[in-house]
Amino acid sequence: MLKHLLLPAALLSAFAAQADEGQWQPYQLPQLKSELKRVGITIPAEKLADLSKHPMSAIVSLGGCSASFVSDAGLVVTNHHCAYGAIQRNATPEHNYIVDGFLAKTRAEELPGGPNTLVYVTDKVENVTDRVLKDVKPGMSGKQRHETVEKAIKALIAECESDKFYRCSVPAFHRGLEYYRIRQMMIRDVRLVYAPADMIGNFGGDIDNYEWPRQGGDYSFLRAYVGKDGRPADPSPDNVPYHSKDFLVVSAEGLKNGDPVLLAGYPGRTSRYKLPSEIRAARDAAYPARVAEIQADLDVIAAATKGNPAAAVRYASVDKSMNNVMKKTQGLLDGFARKDIAAIKDVQDAEFRAWYGKQPNMSKTLLAELDSVIAADLALSDEEFGYSVATTSDLLKSAITLNRLARESAKPDAERESGYQQRDLSFIKARLNRLEQSFVASVDQARFVAALQRYAKLPKSMHVTDLDSLLPAVDAVPALYTRTELGDTAKRLALVGKDGAAFAASDDAFVQLAIKLDDVTQSLKERRKELDGNLERVIPQYMQAVIAWKKSQGKPVYPDANSTLRVTYGTVSPYSPKDGITKGPFTTVEGIVEKHTGKDPFNAPQKLLDAIKAKRYGQFKDTVLGTVPVDFLTSADTTGGNSGSAVMNRKGELVGLNFDSTYESITKDWYFDTAITRAIHLDIRYMLWVMSEVDHADNVLKEMTIKYPARK
């Protein structure tokens, strides 16, 4: 086996032309010192690598989105769509904060974000690879290996969480080559401070999603609250704003074409090191199936909520999330059609295999094992997709979760399945609670019926072994909803903590269905454990070889994104999506007027249109553009999860918020094309202008430290 190799700084100059590619772990940044200097970043690389120092200490996660502190009183800025759940939670037909926006003029008026709105502050990252793998032995089955690794990870997490105010995790990097333990302070009392109207925050809606030019004011503000002792606490009126040690200064000085940016956040998932066979499986089967499934489910929700404003509000966040996933997946398909990434990977794979065959002391069986385990993974993934279709019901999913919790609770905590330990109870309760805002029985029933019909038509490869005979007939589904109480939040939560016998004694129709499906559900999980163990044995050996191969070429070596803190950098840059067309890098408020139709989703508020017409631009007017910029493009390397990420200038001041990518860039999850890959960011000047001129959020503006351009 190859000795694990990190990319030395001396080799980094060899890929200057590809410098914008890379979602770097903070500890790697000192190796990139010359690149950061070349781009124009003036913050010392060693400071960027230190999570306890500014600006990294101001970067936080929302558990799916990114954000940053912008005052010492726990004020957090993120995207409008990242706070959408909190906005929807407080919205009613009478006070529709989605449509009208919300502004708390005082802290007493701030609204609870709900149990699913959390702020995570990362304060410690340590390499624990040796401790995770110390008990792994040659000859173990896949399941034995996987469970050995899981046991070690649970122990490391339990050790880290001896302080109950922290949430710890041990994610894998390079597909299992390394493991890092990450400690985060988890703030549970998070409140909604300010969100613009949907006509600003979501201007263009799903039509403009992933498109450029873009004029979205995708921002909102939350506040983190803690107990009077400064420690995280359950939501309470007695809590006080969290005193954030560091926060970002907001710069209204702006950027121009070619200026450098630094971006920090929590990107979700990329697949840069996957094999050509995995790309073809996604392109030819998995993604088309996913698009068709999401669209069909969206159609059912639309039909079931039509004419029912209250139901539409309840499913607004669900609808928005599904639309976003669908458009991204369709964008991936279009990107694969536009550029044959599989063919590009074929060439790279052939080059790697040729190089690998020439190296001394290499395994003669590794590549064959690799191909075999990847094929098995793709086959099992088909069944897992089928299972997800067949269980498209929030009540059934809740019952399955409660059933597994009841069964796992009989075991010692350390032996329970991950996700069902004592540390997970608050998250389980939060998920069960969330249905209070996003569930209507008639809609859920319509979704379940339609999903069962779609499952029946899926290819045989997507049917789960032994599942079909256990599923209810379509005409039997309505009776399930008349014989269940899981739609009642209190009764749903009352099942948390029940032992297996008490749970099984319930005559609730969905509880009984979950119990009936349990053997098949667990069999699927057990097969996944066996396969994951084999993947965890083979893939790290492959990645170790890939890293050595890339190092020999002087190419960048960074792990795929895995929802952990990463830093990327780039420049403000236009791009050419096709011959004869150049786009960007800025849009302006005049573009809002041009797109305004008076109908959703291009229905700008009148007060915004009036301010544009009167050219009340003040100090937010860009001297080059002659108006207020709205959004801008950069070459920074981002993906899902980077929504809300702080976009900083060369000095580490907040100049934008990441919220999207261009449609042509979506395939960057698999392949980074420097010519056309562009991230879309909200220009902070537009945010400040709307706050000042349109929404009069003077109290929020006053709280931030804002650096305005020098008056001439």
Which residues does the annotation mark as catalytic? 81, 218, 643
CA distances (Å), 242 to each of 127, 193, 237, 565, 702, in order? 29, 14, 14, 21, 18
Q: DSSP string covering 73-101, please?
A: T-EEEE-TTTSHHHHHHH--SSS-HHHH-
Residue type, 119: V
Which residue from 64, 69, 59, 100 is spatially nearest to 81, judged by alpha carbons? 64
Task: Dig out the tokens for 161 from the structure.
Answer: 């969480």
Q: Exposed, middle or buried, 402 (CB in 10 Å: 0-12/13-18/19+)?
A: buried
Residue type, 28: Q
Segments in 167-286 forming alpha helices (H): 198-201, 205-208, 276-281
**Distance between CA atoms of 566 and 282, rounded to whole angstroms?**
26
Bridge partners, residue 127, by sequence = 180
Residues 218, 682 contacting (CB under 8 angstroms): yes
CB atoms within 10 A of CB 633: 27
Residues 569, 26 contacting (CB under 8 angstroms): no
**Distance between CA atoms of 156 and 134, rounded to whole angstroms?**
12
CA distances (Å), 399 to each of 84, 431, 470, 494, 518, in order? 26, 12, 15, 12, 10
Residues 477, 393 contacting (CB under 8 angstroms): no
- Dihedral angle computed from the Cα positions of residues 421, 424, 426 and 429, in that order, rounded to the nearest 10 degrees: -90
**Distance between CA atoms of 647 and 628, rounded to whole angstroms?**
18
∠ Cα 646 648 649 (to 5°): 170
- The dihedrals phi and psi of 270, each to the nearest 5 degrees, come to -125, 165
Bridge partners, residue 181, by sequence = 126
**Distance between CA atoms of 574 and 347, rounded to whole angstroms?**
29
Residue with tokens 């450098």: 260
**Distance between CA atoms of 291 and 295, rounded to whole angstroms?**
6
* Start-to-end C-alpha separation, the chain: 64
User: Which H helix or E strand runs over 289?
Assistant: helix 287-305
Residue with tokens 């990097």: 173
Residue 657: strand, helix, or coil: strand
**Distance between CA atoms of 122 and 638, rounded to whole angstroms?**
19
**Distance between CA atoms of 712 and 705, rounded to whole angstroms?**
21
Helices and strands counted in the chain (H then E): 26, 23
Task: Dig out the tokens for 235 from the structure.
Answer: 């939501």
Residues 195, 102 contacting (CB under 8 angstroms): yes
Residue with tokens 């991950």: 418
Q: Exposed, middle or buried, 176 (CB in 10 Å: 0-12/13-18/19+)?
A: buried
